[in-house]
Amino acid sequence: MRWSCGNTKRIDLGDSFFLIRLGIEPKGIIGCGCVTSPPYLFKHWDEEKAKEGKETLRTDLLFKSLSDVPIFSIDYLEKNYPSYNWTPQSGGLSIPEEIASELFSLLQQSQFAFKSSKKEEIRNYSEGKIREITIKTYDRNPIARQVCIEHHGYNCAVCGFNFGQVYGDFGKNYIEVHHLRQIADIGEEYEIKPIEDLRPVCANCHRMLHKERPPLAIEELKTKLVINRITDDK
């Protein structure tokens, strides 16, 4: 989940964290896990401040243990680690390494034990965060698409795949259309000749054509396909 980290910026991907409940009883550490993102600005958690356009630092957390009952009660923490302030007025504070290590060691021996993750594995967990992006799109002429299909048919120009033959009525009369000249590279409106400039292709071949930039030529991808088939046959 996304969590406010106060003003703390010294947080990195893969760091371990504890979540402590202080507002209501029973108080104490109720969760722990690993950080899946460095701090970043996001709309404020307070709705009124968010409406004003204010932001606050957040970080993404992957919980490995989360409990209604404290894993370590506030009484236990204050008794065994009196040198640390367990009731701070702000969040996002660092726990001394020696205390954190001992708590994690004790936790691994309890019912809340969890398997630790490598930094590379943690990267895979951080998905789905909302980001605002601006993109440029280019209009496609549906009439030009249809003229291309009427002339070239519904078979993929690279591999010959036909959706209707494989999926029956569900796939009948479906095919993607590939621009031999990439519109994004032209960057402006231009006159298209459907029969010369467009080709019907299946989704797989379409992705392969655009795997490189500029896109591969139809014949170039067909050559790669033939080579692989010969290799597989051997």
- Residues paired with residue 120 on neighbouring β-strands, in sequence order: none
Report d(CA 102, CA 30) in Å as an integer.
16
Task: Of 112, 78, 93, give the one whose Cα is nearest residue 11.
Answer: 93
- Global pTM reads 0.45
**What is the per-residue pLDDT across 153-180, written as a single tens digit (0 to 9) for each?**
999 999 999 999 999 999 999 999 999 8
Quote the mean pLDDT of the chain.
80
Residue 233 token pair? 């046959």
Query: Which residue's entry shows tokens 């569900």?
Result: 170
Residue 128 region, left (φ>0) first, then alpha (ψ -120 to 50), else beta?
Answer: left
pLDDT of residue 94: 81
Decide the pairing of beta strands 72-73 and 198-201.
Answer: unpaired
Enter the DSSP assignment of 6.
T
**What is the per-residue pLDDT across 74-120, written as a single tens digit (0 to 9) for each?**
999 999 999 988 887 766 678 888 898 888 888 877 767 666 665 66
